[in-house]
Amino acid sequence: MLQVYLVRHGETVWNVSRRIQGQSDSALTAKGEQQAHQVGERAKLLGITDVIASDLGRTRRTAEIIADACGCPVKLDPRLRELNMGVLEQRPIDSLTAEEERWRNSLLNGSEHGRIPQGESMAEMAARMHQVLNACLDLPPGRRPLLVSHGMALGVLVSTILGLPAHAERRLRLRNCSISRVDHQQSLWLASGWVVETAGDVSHLDLPALDELQR
Protein backbone atom coordinates (compact mmCIF):
# COMPACT_ATOMS: atom_id res chain seq x y z
CA MET A 1 0.00 0.00 0.00
CA LEU A 2 1.29 3.45 -0.93
CA GLN A 3 0.54 6.31 1.48
CA VAL A 4 0.65 9.84 0.07
CA TYR A 5 0.41 12.88 2.34
CA LEU A 6 -1.13 16.12 1.10
CA VAL A 7 -0.26 19.49 2.65
CA ARG A 8 -1.64 22.93 1.90
CA HIS A 9 0.90 25.76 2.04
CA GLY A 10 1.29 27.95 5.12
CA GLU A 11 -0.61 31.15 5.73
CA THR A 12 0.26 33.97 3.33
CA VAL A 13 0.02 37.75 3.40
CA TRP A 14 -2.86 37.58 0.94
CA ASN A 15 -4.70 34.92 2.97
CA VAL A 16 -4.75 37.42 5.82
CA SER A 17 -5.77 40.38 3.65
CA ARG A 18 -8.39 38.30 1.75
CA ARG A 19 -6.96 38.70 -1.73
CA ILE A 20 -7.47 36.10 -4.46
CA GLN A 21 -4.18 34.34 -5.12
CA GLY A 22 -4.74 31.66 -7.75
CA GLN A 23 -1.47 31.26 -9.63
CA SER A 24 -0.22 34.67 -8.54
CA ASP A 25 1.94 34.67 -5.45
CA SER A 26 2.16 36.05 -1.95
CA ALA A 27 4.82 35.41 0.69
CA LEU A 28 4.26 33.35 3.81
CA THR A 29 3.55 35.30 6.96
CA ALA A 30 5.59 34.63 10.11
CA LYS A 31 2.69 32.42 11.20
CA GLY A 32 2.83 30.60 7.87
CA GLU A 33 6.53 29.86 8.38
CA GLN A 34 5.77 28.57 11.88
CA GLN A 35 3.02 26.33 10.51
CA ALA A 36 5.42 24.88 7.94
CA HIS A 37 7.96 24.07 10.66
CA GLN A 38 5.22 22.30 12.62
CA VAL A 39 4.33 20.24 9.56
CA GLY A 40 8.04 19.45 9.18
CA GLU A 41 8.19 18.02 12.69
CA ARG A 42 5.14 15.88 11.99
CA ALA A 43 6.50 14.80 8.59
CA LYS A 44 9.78 13.72 10.13
CA LEU A 45 7.89 11.41 12.50
CA LEU A 46 5.87 10.05 9.58
CA GLY A 47 9.03 9.03 7.72
CA ILE A 48 8.48 11.21 4.64
CA THR A 49 11.02 10.36 1.93
CA ASP A 50 9.95 12.59 -0.97
CA VAL A 51 8.59 16.15 -0.99
CA ILE A 52 6.94 17.26 -4.24
CA ALA A 53 5.56 20.79 -4.45
CA SER A 54 3.81 23.31 -6.65
CA ASP A 55 6.39 25.68 -8.09
CA LEU A 56 4.65 28.80 -6.75
CA GLY A 57 6.57 30.68 -4.07
CA ARG A 58 4.23 30.00 -1.15
CA THR A 59 4.24 26.25 -1.74
CA ARG A 60 7.94 26.13 -2.57
CA ARG A 61 8.84 27.84 0.72
CA THR A 62 6.51 25.59 2.71
CA ALA A 63 8.03 22.53 1.03
CA GLU A 64 11.62 23.68 1.66
CA ILE A 65 10.95 23.91 5.39
CA ILE A 66 9.30 20.47 5.48
CA ALA A 67 12.00 18.84 3.36
CA ASP A 68 14.75 20.31 5.52
CA ALA A 69 13.19 18.67 8.58
CA CYS A 70 12.96 15.33 6.73
CA GLY A 71 16.44 15.48 5.19
CA CYS A 72 15.25 15.16 1.60
CA PRO A 73 15.22 17.45 -1.46
CA VAL A 74 12.21 19.23 -2.95
CA LYS A 75 10.94 18.37 -6.42
CA LEU A 76 8.85 21.12 -8.05
CA ASP A 77 5.90 20.25 -10.29
CA PRO A 78 3.76 23.03 -11.84
CA ARG A 79 0.83 20.60 -12.17
CA LEU A 80 0.33 21.06 -8.40
CA ARG A 81 -0.44 24.78 -8.82
CA GLU A 82 -3.63 26.37 -7.54
CA LEU A 83 -6.58 26.93 -9.85
CA ASN A 84 -5.93 29.63 -12.42
CA MET A 85 -8.36 32.34 -11.27
CA GLY A 86 -8.01 34.37 -14.45
CA VAL A 87 -9.00 38.03 -14.33
CA LEU A 88 -9.78 37.88 -10.59
CA GLU A 89 -6.23 37.08 -9.48
CA GLN A 90 -4.71 39.56 -7.04
CA ARG A 91 -8.12 41.17 -6.38
CA PRO A 92 -9.38 41.76 -2.81
CA ILE A 93 -12.50 39.64 -2.35
CA ASP A 94 -14.44 42.61 -0.98
CA SER A 95 -13.77 44.56 -4.20
CA LEU A 96 -15.57 42.19 -6.58
CA THR A 97 -18.61 43.38 -8.52
CA ALA A 98 -21.80 41.35 -8.44
CA GLU A 99 -20.91 39.77 -11.78
CA GLU A 100 -17.38 38.96 -10.66
CA GLU A 101 -18.74 37.40 -7.46
CA ARG A 102 -21.00 35.19 -9.61
CA TRP A 103 -17.92 34.05 -11.54
CA ARG A 104 -16.14 33.21 -8.28
CA ASN A 105 -19.14 31.42 -6.85
CA SER A 106 -19.48 29.33 -10.00
CA LEU A 107 -16.34 27.50 -8.82
CA LEU A 108 -17.85 26.77 -5.42
CA ASN A 109 -21.54 26.06 -5.88
CA GLY A 110 -21.59 23.07 -8.21
CA SER A 111 -21.89 24.85 -11.55
CA GLU A 112 -20.76 22.28 -14.11
CA HIS A 113 -19.19 24.84 -16.42
CA GLY A 114 -17.91 27.21 -13.75
CA ARG A 115 -14.89 29.21 -14.87
CA ILE A 116 -13.52 32.71 -14.33
CA PRO A 117 -12.68 34.50 -17.60
CA GLN A 118 -9.09 33.68 -18.66
CA GLY A 119 -8.97 31.01 -15.93
CA GLU A 120 -9.37 27.24 -15.88
CA SER A 121 -12.16 24.89 -14.85
CA MET A 122 -12.19 22.63 -11.82
CA ALA A 123 -12.12 19.61 -14.17
CA GLU A 124 -8.94 20.84 -15.84
CA MET A 125 -7.30 21.32 -12.46
CA ALA A 126 -8.46 17.90 -11.25
CA ALA A 127 -6.91 16.21 -14.28
CA ARG A 128 -3.44 17.64 -13.65
CA MET A 129 -3.63 16.96 -9.90
CA HIS A 130 -4.45 13.29 -10.56
CA GLN A 131 -1.50 13.08 -12.97
CA VAL A 132 0.88 13.99 -10.16
CA LEU A 133 -0.78 11.68 -7.67
CA ASN A 134 -0.68 8.73 -10.06
CA ALA A 135 2.99 9.42 -10.82
CA CYS A 136 3.70 8.61 -7.17
CA LEU A 137 2.93 4.98 -8.04
CA ASP A 138 6.19 4.93 -10.03
CA LEU A 139 8.32 5.70 -6.97
CA PRO A 140 10.50 2.86 -5.67
CA PRO A 141 8.84 0.55 -3.13
CA GLY A 142 8.94 1.80 0.44
CA ARG A 143 8.79 5.50 -0.40
CA ARG A 144 6.42 7.80 1.47
CA PRO A 145 5.78 10.99 -0.54
CA LEU A 146 4.30 14.29 0.58
CA LEU A 147 2.71 16.71 -1.91
CA VAL A 148 2.58 20.44 -1.08
CA SER A 149 -0.17 22.23 -2.97
CA HIS A 150 -3.10 24.61 -2.50
CA GLY A 151 -6.56 24.71 -0.97
CA MET A 152 -8.77 24.40 -4.03
CA ALA A 153 -6.33 22.09 -5.81
CA LEU A 154 -6.13 19.63 -2.92
CA GLY A 155 -9.85 19.94 -2.27
CA VAL A 156 -10.75 18.88 -5.80
CA LEU A 157 -8.22 16.03 -5.64
CA VAL A 158 -9.69 14.58 -2.45
CA SER A 159 -13.28 15.16 -3.57
CA THR A 160 -12.79 13.39 -6.90
CA ILE A 161 -11.10 10.44 -5.18
CA LEU A 162 -14.31 10.16 -3.17
CA GLY A 163 -16.22 9.93 -6.46
CA LEU A 164 -17.61 13.45 -6.65
CA PRO A 165 -17.39 15.36 -9.94
CA ALA A 166 -14.69 18.02 -10.07
CA HIS A 167 -17.36 20.74 -10.23
CA ALA A 168 -19.21 19.49 -7.13
CA GLU A 169 -20.09 22.03 -4.44
CA ARG A 170 -16.97 22.87 -2.47
CA ARG A 171 -17.61 21.48 1.03
CA LEU A 172 -14.17 20.30 2.13
CA ARG A 173 -12.23 22.86 4.17
CA LEU A 174 -8.46 22.39 4.05
CA ARG A 175 -6.85 25.06 6.19
CA ASN A 176 -3.31 26.39 5.84
CA CYS A 177 -0.76 23.63 6.57
CA SER A 178 -3.46 21.01 7.14
CA ILE A 179 -2.39 17.42 6.43
CA SER A 180 -4.48 14.89 4.51
CA ARG A 181 -3.59 11.33 3.50
CA VAL A 182 -4.67 9.18 0.59
CA ASP A 183 -3.71 5.53 0.12
CA HIS A 184 -3.46 3.34 -2.96
CA GLN A 185 -4.56 -0.13 -1.90
CA GLN A 186 -6.57 -3.26 -2.51
CA SER A 187 -9.29 -4.02 0.05
CA LEU A 188 -12.15 -6.46 0.48
CA TRP A 189 -14.43 -3.67 1.64
CA LEU A 190 -13.27 -0.58 -0.26
CA ALA A 191 -12.99 0.19 -3.95
CA SER A 192 -9.57 -0.66 -5.36
CA GLY A 193 -7.17 2.20 -5.98
CA TRP A 194 -7.02 5.54 -4.19
CA VAL A 195 -8.95 5.97 -0.93
CA VAL A 196 -9.07 8.86 1.52
CA GLU A 197 -7.67 8.04 4.97
CA THR A 198 -7.76 11.53 6.54
CA ALA A 199 -8.53 15.06 5.35
CA GLY A 200 -7.72 18.47 6.78
CA ASP A 201 -5.94 17.42 9.98
CA VAL A 202 -4.61 20.47 11.90
CA SER A 203 -3.88 18.76 15.23
CA HIS A 204 -0.15 19.47 14.75
CA LEU A 205 -0.68 23.25 14.64
CA ASP A 206 -0.58 25.50 17.71
CA LEU A 207 -3.34 27.82 16.47
CA PRO A 208 -6.19 27.32 14.00
CA ALA A 209 -5.20 28.30 10.47
CA LEU A 210 -7.17 30.73 8.33
CA ASP A 211 -8.76 29.95 5.00
CA GLU A 212 -8.67 32.70 2.38
CA LEU A 213 -12.46 32.64 2.04
CA GLN A 214 -13.54 31.78 5.59
CA ARG A 215 -12.91 33.10 9.09
Strand 145-149: give its sheet, edge to edge: 74-76, 50-53, 145-149, 2-8, 179-185, 193-201
Conformation bin of residue 121: beta by default, left when phi > 0, alpha when psi is -120 to 50:
beta
Helix, strand, coil abundance in the chain, percent, nearest 5: 40, 20, 45
Torsion from C-alpha of 80, 41, 33, 202, nearest 10 degrees = 70
Catalytic position from the list 9, 120, 150, 212: 9
Q: Is 130 a catalytic residue?
A: no
CB atoms within 10 A of CB 23: 18
Q: Is 9 a catalytic residue?
A: yes
Q: Residue 211, class by beta-carbon neighbours within 10 Å (0-12 exposed, 13-18 middle, 19+ buried)?
A: middle
DSSP state of 211: B
What is the distance between the alpha carbons of residues 99 and 104, in angstroms, rounded to a whole number?
9
Catalytic position from the list 11, 82, 89, 212: 82
Residues taking part in catalysis: 9, 82
